[in-house]
Structure 1
Amino acid sequence: MGEFDAAGEVVSGALLGRAVESHRGEAGHGGHGGICLNCGTTLTGPYCHRCGQAGHVHRTIGAIWHEILHGVVHFEGKLWNTLPMLFFRPGELTRRYIHGERARFVSPMAMFLFSVFSMFAVLQIMGISPPAEVGTVAQFEQGLTFARQNTESAIADARESRAKAAPGSERAQKLDKRIAGLERDLDELEKVPLSLSRASGKGLNFKTGWKRIDKGIEKANRNPGLALYKLQTNSYKFSWALIPLSIPFVWLLFFWKRRYKGYDHAVFVTYSLAFNSILFILLTIAGGLGLPNDAIAIAAMTITPVHIFFQMKGAYRLRGWSALLRTFVLLHFIAFILVLFGLLLLGLGLLG
Structure 2
Amino acid sequence: MSGGIEAAGELATGALLGRAVEPNAGEGHGGAHGLCLNCGTALIGSHCHNCGQAGHVHRSLHAIGHDLLHGVFHFDGKLWRTLPMLAWRPGDLTRRYIGGERARFVSPMAIFLFSVFAMFAVFSWVGISTPTDLDTNSMKPVAALDFARKDAQQKLERAQAKLAKATDEDDRAEYRSRIAEAQDDLKGIDEASKSLGDGKVHVTTTTAHTGWHALDHGIEKWQKNPALMLYKLQSASYKFSWLLIPLSLPFLWLLFFWKRQYKLYDHTIFIIYSIAFMSLFYIVVAVAAAIGMSGGWLAVAALAIPFVHITRQLQQAYAIGWVSATLRATLLTVFISWILTIFVLILVALGMFG
CA contact under 8 A between 1:28 and 1:47: conserved in structure 2? Answer: no
User: Hey, what does 2:310 align to over in structure 1?
Assistant: 308
- Return the letter of the residue paired with 1:14: A
User: Hey, what does 1:84 align to over in structure 2?
Assistant: 84
Matched residues in 2 for 1:290 and 1:145: separation?
A: 36
User: Hey, what does 1:112 align to over in structure 2?
Assistant: 112
User: Hey, what does 1:242 align to over in structure 2?
Assistant: 244
Residue by residue over 1:46-88, the C-alpha shift from the partner in whole angstroms, topping out at 9 and shown as x without a partner, is 1111110011111111110111011001000011001111111
Are the structure 2 counterparts of residues 292 and 135 from structure 1 closer, same or farther at C-alpha, using a change threshold of 3 Å? same
Matched residues in 2 for 1:148 and 1:293: separation?
A: 35
Are the structure 2 counterparts of residues 128 and 148 from structure 1 closer, same or farther at C-alpha, using a change threshold of 3 Å? farther
Residue by residue over 1:166-214, the C-alpha shift from the partner in whole angstroms, topping out at 9 and shown as x without a partner, is xxxxxxxxx9xxx9xxx9xx99xx9xxxxxxxxxx99874344432222
Matched residues in 2 for 1:144 and 1:39: separation?
A: 72
SS at match of 2:104: coil
Matched residues in 1 for 2:269 and 2:73: separation?
A: 23
SS at match of 1:101: coil
1:1-352 matches, within 5 Å, as 1-29=2-30, 31-130=31-130, 137=136, 145-147=149-151, 205-352=207-354
CA contact under 8 A between 1:134 and 1:229: conserved in structure 2? Answer: no
SS at match of 1:26: coil
RMSD: 3.4
State TM-score, norm by structure 2. Answer: 0.81
Structure with bigger gyration radius: 2
Matched residues in 1 for 2:95 and 2:108: separation?
A: 12
CA contact under 8 A between 1:120 and 1:129: conserved in structure 2? Answer: no
CA contact under 8 A between 1:235 and 1:345: conserved in structure 2? Answer: yes
Residue by residue over 1:132-164, the C-alpha shift from the partner in whole angstroms, topping out at 9 and shown as x without a partner, is x6675579968655555567899999xxx9xx8
CA displacement at 1:27 relative to structure 2: 2.7
Q: Percent identity over the alignment?
A: 53
Are the structure 2 counterparts of residues 343 and 135 from structure 1 closer, same or farther at C-alpha, using a change threshold of 3 Å? closer
- Return the letter of the residue paired with 1:42: A
CA displacement at 1:6 relative to structure 2: 0.8
- Return the letter of the residue paired with 2:342: L
CA displacement at 1:109 relative to structure 2: 0.9
SS at match of 2:42: coil
Matched residues in 1 for 2:299 and 2:158: separation?
A: 36
Are the structure 2 counterparts of residues 32 and 121 from structure 1 closer, same or farther at C-alpha, using a change threshold of 3 Å? closer
Consecutive unaligned residues in structure 2, runs of 5 or more: 163-169, 193-202
Matched residues in 2 for 1:213 and 1:307: separation?
A: 40
Are the structure 2 counterparts of residues 83 and 146 from structure 1 closer, same or farther at C-alpha, using a change threshold of 3 Å? farther
User: Hey, what does 1:172 align to over in structure 2?
Assistant: none
CA contact under 8 A between 1:204 and 1:220: conserved in structure 2? Answer: no
CA contact under 8 A between 1:204 and 1:217: conserved in structure 2? Answer: no
Corresponding pairs, count:
321
CA contact under 8 A between 1:134 and 1:226: conserved in structure 2? Answer: no
- Return the letter of the residue paired with 1:20: V
Matched residues in 1 for 2:27 and 2:218: separation?
A: 49
Matched residues in 1 for 2:19 and 2:324: separation?
A: 36
Matched residues in 2 for 1:257 and 1:5: separation?
A: 46
- Return the letter of the residue paired with 1:112: F
- Return the letter of the residue paired with 2:11: V
Matched residues in 2 for 1:240 and 1:222: separation?
A: 30
CA displacement at 1:318 relative to structure 2: 0.7
SS at match of 1:275: helix
